[in-house]
Amino acid sequence: MDRVYGADGAVGEYVTGADVSVSVPARGAGQHLLVVVHDPAVADLLTTTLELADYRVTVARTGAQGVLRLAERRFDLVLFDVTVPDVESLGDGRRFRPADRPPVLFLAPYETLGALVPELGLGQADYVTLPFRISEVLARVHVLLRGREPVRQGPCYGDLALNDATCQAWRGRRALDLTPAEYRLLRHLLVNAERVLSKEQICLHVWGETRAGNAIEKLVSRVRQKVDREQPSLIHTRRGFGYRLGR
């Protein structure tokens, strides 16, 4: 018996006959999926099923929210219900480079497939018609992700994200060109977000020793110039105490 999501938003059951062989799609490997679905029941169904299949899930309820989530961080795949409010916001995704745009699995009523043709040409994409079977969604997700390396995420705070595998950092979609010392400083502030760290603590973490003079002030200033081009500012000075990363 399989869960099915109808074009009218109803969730029901799909009964598989005894004479039909059903293959279970391969499980995920912790890939991060963005689910853009307006109906709460359907969003919960997809979230629960995908998480049980070893995917991580972030949910957006509208097209605008979906585009915002894409601007905040990288995802391995997007499931996009074309019946969500302000679906035209999906077009904003064209501002991303093809290499940045994750694969998209559209959930679409049959009568909307003609309008999807241009979108299907924007990088790797597929669709499932409504009503859909959960097993079919899992199978299409697996096919779209096959052969793709999962997006490696390190610690993050809001739209600030680090990738410890490559020692890279981003503020939203903007890559930060950091030196090794700057990366160690930013990571130390990020994993201790909302805590004030003294200059001595930062020195020991960045260089393994204390340093005289204004070495920390200069390092923090360089990192702040790279991180805080956008608002809100994230790196703050507590005079007499140290530095804090937070809003």
Q: What is the CATH number of the domain that holds 71?
A: 3.40.50.2300
pLDDT at 13 over 50: no
For the chain, what is the domain count? Answer: 2
Domain match, 141 and 161 both: no
Query: Which helix (H) or strand (E) is 187 found in, with range?
Result: helix 180-191
User: Residue 225: inside a domain, yes or no?
Assistant: yes
Mean pLDDT score of the chain, rounded to an integer?
Answer: 80
Task: List pLDDT tens digits, range 183-231.
Answer: 999 999 999 999 999 999 999 999 988 887 799 999 999 999 999 998 9
pLDDT at 151 over 90: no
Which of 20-24, 136-140, 146-150 has the highest mean predicted lDDT (pLDDT)? Answer: 136-140
More confident residue, 204 or 30: 204
Domain match, 36 and 93 both: yes
Q: Among 21-35, 99-113, 167-181, which stretch is predicted with the lowest mean pLDDT?
A: 21-35
User: Residue 193: inside a domain, yes or no?
Assistant: yes
Q: How confident is the model at residue 68 (pLDDT cuts 50, 70, 90)?
A: confident
User: Residue 151: inside a domain, yes or no?
Assistant: no
CATH number of the domain bearing residue 161 = 1.10.10.10
The residues facing 107 across adjacent strands are: 81, 128
User: Residue 198: inside a domain, yes or no?
Assistant: yes
Nearest to residue 192, comparing CAs of 244, 115, 247? 244
User: Residue 172: inside a domain, yes or no?
Assistant: yes
pLDDT at 95 over 50: no
Q: Is 60 helix (H, G, I), strand (E, B) or coil?
A: strand
Give the mean model confidence (pLDDT) for residues 50-68. Answer: 88
Give the mean model confidence (pLDDT) for residues 42-51. Answer: 92
Nearest to residue 181, comparing CAs of 216, 210, 156? 216
Q: How confident is the model at residue 155 (pLDDT cuts 50, 70, 90)?
A: confident
pLDDT at 17 over 80: no
**CA dist., res. 202 & res. 219, Å (int):** 10
Residue 1: the pLDDT is 43
Is the pTM higher than 0.75? The answer reads no
Length of the chain: 247
Structure tokens at 131: 């009503």
Domain match, 85 and 29 both: yes
Give the mean model confidence (pLDDT) for residues 43-55. Answer: 91
Give me the amino acid identity at 52. Answer: L
Give the mean model confidence (pLDDT) for residues 6-27. Answer: 44
Final residue belonging to a domain, choices 145, 169, 195: 145
Domain match, 179 and 101 both: no
**CA dist., res. 157 & res. 150, Å (int):** 20
More confident residue, 35 or 209: 35
Give me the amino acid identity at 221. Answer: S
Query: What domain range includes position 164?
Result: 156-245
The residues facing 77 across adjacent strands are: 33
Task: List pLDDT tens digits, range 121-147.
Answer: 455 888 898 888 999 999 999 999 987
**CA dist., res. 132 & res. 225, Å (int):** 49
Domain match, 168 and 133 both: no
Task: List pLDDT tens digits, range 101-127.
Answer: 789 998 988 777 766 655 554 558 888
